[in-house]
Structure 1
Amino acid sequence: MRWEEILAGNVTTLDELSASIPQINEYGDIASKVLNKYPMSIPRYYLSLVNPDDANDPIRKMCIPSFLEMDLAGTFDTSGESSNTKLQGLQHKYPQTVLMLSTNRCAMYCRYCFRKRMVGSGTQEVVADIKEAISYILKHEEITNVLISGGDSFLLDTDIIREYLDSLSAIGHLDYIRFGTKTPVVFPQRILEDSRLQDILREYGHKKQIYIVTQFNHPRELTEDSISAVRCLQGLGLIVKNQTVLLKGVNDCPETLARLFRRFTELGIIPYYIFQCRPVTGVMNQFQVPLQAGYDIIEQAKAMQNGNGKCFRFVLSNPDGKIEILGRTADGQMVFKYHQAKDPDNLGRVFQREVGPDICWIE
C-alpha cells in the first residue's frame, strides 16, 4: 500500500479507538469534548505499541486523549512564535536560523504538542507561498540553516519536499537543511514505503547536508520498524538527531531515559536536546515535570551514559531564547545559560534564579 493509504487508516474517532482501548468508553462525554477541541489521529502502527490493560502506559499517554487536556492553565504560544513571524509560516528568531512551518498535518497528534493551537486545525500559520519564503532567505545572508517543520514536514507530498530541497539546496549561504519529523517514531512506513522520497533525499543530500530531527521519548518506541526507518535515512547519507521532551508519566525516570539514550548511541542517533515540556494550555499540568526534579532525573540518566551519550543539553525555549539548565545549588537557586538568544546581548549569559520545588518554567 502507498503510505497515504496506510495513513488514511489512522484512528480518529472514539468508536475506532474503543475497539483497541475499551476503557476509553468510561470517559463518555468528556472524551468527546476533548476531541472536539483537540483532534486525535493515531497510526495503527503506533497504537499497536500501547498496552491496552495499563491506564498509565507511557505510549498511551502520548497518543490517547485525556480529560486533563481540558485544563485551561498555560498559554498557546509559549516561545513567542507569533512575534518572530516575518512571513506567513516563516519565523526568524535567531540570526542564523529560519523556521518554516510547512504544514499543519502530522502522522500523529501528540497529546503534549507545543503547537496544539494549530496542528490538525487551522492553516493560518503555515507557509502560503514557498517562493516568497525562499526570496526572504536569499535576502538574508546571515541565515546559514533552515528548519522545515510544521506539523510534520514529512507529511508533505513528496513533490513538495522536492520543491523545498530544490530551492534551498541552490542557496550558497546555507550550510545545511533540517527536516523536523516524527515519522520515524510514529509512522515509519512514510519512509520505508516511499522509494521516491528516498531517491530525492539521497539526490539532494549530495548537494547540501540534510539533517533529520526526530523525537523518540521512550525506549519502547525504538521498534524494529522505527529502527529500519532510521537506518534507511542514515543509509541515504542523512544525519539523524533526536530531541526528547521530558514528560511526566512517560520518561521522568533516570533508568528510562538512560535506556533510551544508550539506544541512541548504539544506533548512531545523535542526542541533541532534552526539552523541558512547555506550559501549553491543555498540556501544562498533565505533562510538566518541576525543574529541580527534572534536572536531577537527567543528571542521573547522564551518569549512566558513555561520552557520546552525554552530548545533549537540557533546555527550555521561552520568548527570550533557548535557555540551558546548567545546575542547581544547595540553597534552591538554579543556574541557567542562554544557549540561543533573541537579544544578541543575552547570548552566552549565565544567570541564577530561585526556583521552588514545584516550579516548572521560567520567563
Structure 2
Amino acid sequence: MQAVATVLPFRVNSYVLDELIDWDAAPNDPIYRLVFPQADMLPQSDVTRIADLIKAGAPRKELNEAANAVRARLNPHPAGQMDLNVPKVDDEPIPGIQHKYQETVLFFPKQGQTCHAYCTYCFRWAQFVGDADLKFASSEIDQLVDYVRSHPEVTSVLFTGGDPMIMGEGVISKYIEPLLEIEHLEAIRIGTKALAYWPQRFVTDPDADDTLRLFEKVVASGKNLAFMAHFSHPNEMRPEIVQEAVRRIRSTGAVIRTQAPLIRTINDDPAVWESMWRTHLRHGMVPYYMFVERDTGPQDYFAVPLAEAYEIFRGAYKNVSGLARTVRGPSMSATPGKVCVDGVTEVAGEKVFALHFIQARDPELVGRPFFAKYDEKAAWLFDLKPALGATHFPWETPPAAAGDGGVDPTRL
C-alpha cells in the first residue's frame, strides 16, 4: 500500500474512516477500496521496485525519481488539458481555464486543487502529486471574467479541481460573485465530492451558513446554480448529516445533479446503481451521468469493458422510473467529446456498438450517431475501430488513400 501511495495520491479524513467504511468488511468494503490504495493497482514490477526502495530506506529523492518514472507511463492528462483545451490571449495560454466545448468554460481555482479525501481511481490524480509541471490552476479571477465577457457563446462556467468546496466561503465567493454581473452567463456549476466526503461543509462548519447564503445570492441573480455532486456508492448517502446537507443546499434554490464513473470492484453492479439513483431521486437530486473510467492512472485495475458497462447501465436504467432516467451513460469524456454507448446491435450482418456524441469539441457532431466494431475487451473510445466498411470515425480526418467503396455509418 505504501509503495502504491508513493506513486498515486492518498488522503483520507476522519468522516470517511468513521462513518463510511465498514471495517468488518475491509478490504472488500467498497468505500475502503475507494480511498485506500491496493497493491495490484499498478504493475507488480513497479510496486516491487518501490517497495524495495522503501524497505532499504532509500532517500526521498530516489523514491521520487522512481515514482515519477511510473507516473510518466500513466497518461496524466487524458483530455489534453495542458494544450488542446487551454485558450490563449496574444498566443499566451490563460492558466487554469479550459474551453473544450463552445458553451462551457472550466475553471480550476488555485485554492481548490485538493480534496477532502482522494478517490483511488481519480483521473485528475496528477493535480495532487506535487509535480508543478502537471498542475493546472489559476488564482486570477479577472482573467476568467474577461474571457467569459468576450465570448458570448459561453453560457456556463464550471468550477472544478480538485474540489472547489475545499475552499472557504470567503475565497470561493471572490471567484463566483464577479461572474454574476455577466448577462449572457446562464449557469454556474460546482463539481464536488464534498457531500460524500465532508458534508459538514454545509451543516456544521463555521462558514456553512455563509456558503449557503452565497448559493442563494447566485440563484437570486437569475443564474442557475448546478451543484454537480460526485457519489460513487449508495453507502455515501446513509449518514444523516449528508441527507441534511442535501436538504440545506436544495433550500437555496440550487439544483443537485449526481454523477460518478463506473468502477470495477466498487460499483460494477446494476443493483448498486439502481439503489444509488433511487436514493438520489428520493432526496430531490437529479441523476445525471454514469461515466466510463478514463484512460489514465490505474485504468487497467478499475476499468470495465464497454460492453459490460452498457449492460450494467441498462440493468439499472430499466428498473427506475422516468424521473430517474435523466441519467446518461455509459459516457466517455474523451478528447473529441462525451461519447455515449447506446447499445450493442447488428447492422448489415455485423455486430457493432451504437454510439453518439452527448457533447463534442465540434458542435456539429453533437447527437450524431456512429458505429464501431464490437469488441468485448474495448474499455475506451480509442480501443474501438470503425464499423460497416468505414475508414474513420466522424471526428477523424479520412485516410489519404481511402477509396469511396466504404459505407459511411453515420448516414445509416
TM-score range, shorter chain: 0.7 to 0.9
Letter in 2 for 1:76: P
Letter in 2 for 1:343: D
Segments of structure 1 that go 5 or more residues without pairing to the other structure are 1-30
Cα gap change, 1:120 to 1:172, in 2 (>3 Å): farther
Cα gap change, 1:182 to 1:120, in 2 (>3 Å): farther
Alignment of 1:1-363 (within 5 A): 31-48=1-18, 49-54=20-25, 55-71=27-43, 74-82=74-82, 83-86=84-87, 87-102=94-109, 103-119=112-128, 121-122=130-131, 124-193=135-204, 194-207=208-221, 208-223=223-238, 224-281=240-297, 283-314=298-329, 315-330=331-346, 331-363=350-382
Q: State how far apart, in whole Å, the 1-side matches of 2:12 and 2:129 are.
A: 12
Deviations 1:309-331 (A, max 9, x none): 11111111110001111111155
Higher mean C-alpha deviation, range 319-328 or range 329-338: 329-338
Deviations 1:75-114 (A, max 9, x none): 2122222210121110001110000011211111111101
Paired residue secondary structure (2:247): helix
C-alpha displacement of 1:122:
4.5
Q: State how far apart, in whole Å, the 1-side matches of 2:165 and 2:131 are.
A: 18
Letter in 1 for 2:177: D
Q: State how far apart, in whole Å, the 1-side matches of 2:279 and 2:286 are.
A: 10
Cα gap change, 1:88 to 1:219, in 2 (>3 Å): same
Q: State how far apart, in whole Å, the 1-side matches of 2:302 and 2:364 are.
A: 32
Higher mean C-alpha deviation, range 220-229 or range 286-295: 220-229
Letter in 2 for 1:234: R
**Could you tell me which residue of structure 2 aligns to residue 8 of structure 1?**
none
Letter in 2 for 1:108: A
Letter in 2 for 1:118: Q
Paired residue secondary structure (1:326): strand
Paired residue secondary structure (1:329): strand
Q: TM-score of the superposition, structure 2-length normalised?
A: 0.78
Q: State how far apart, in whole Å, the 2-side matches of 1:94 and 1:199 are.
A: 30
Q: State how far apart, in whole Å, the 1-side matches of 2:127 and 2:85 are.
A: 16
Greater C-alpha Rg: 2
Q: TM-score of the superposition, structure 1-length normalised?
A: 0.88
Q: State how far apart, in whole Å, the 1-side matches of 2:357 and 2:224 are.
A: 27
Q: State how far apart, in whole Å, the 1-side matches of 2:14 and 2:32 are.
A: 13
Q: State how far apart, in whole Å, the 2-side matches of 1:114 and 1:39 are.
A: 11
Deviations 1:190-222 (A, max 9, x none): 111222212222223211221100111211110
In 1, are the aligned partners of 2:187 and 2:225 still within 8 Å (CA)?
yes
Paired residue secondary structure (1:357): coil
Q: Identity rate of aligned residues, in percent?
A: 29
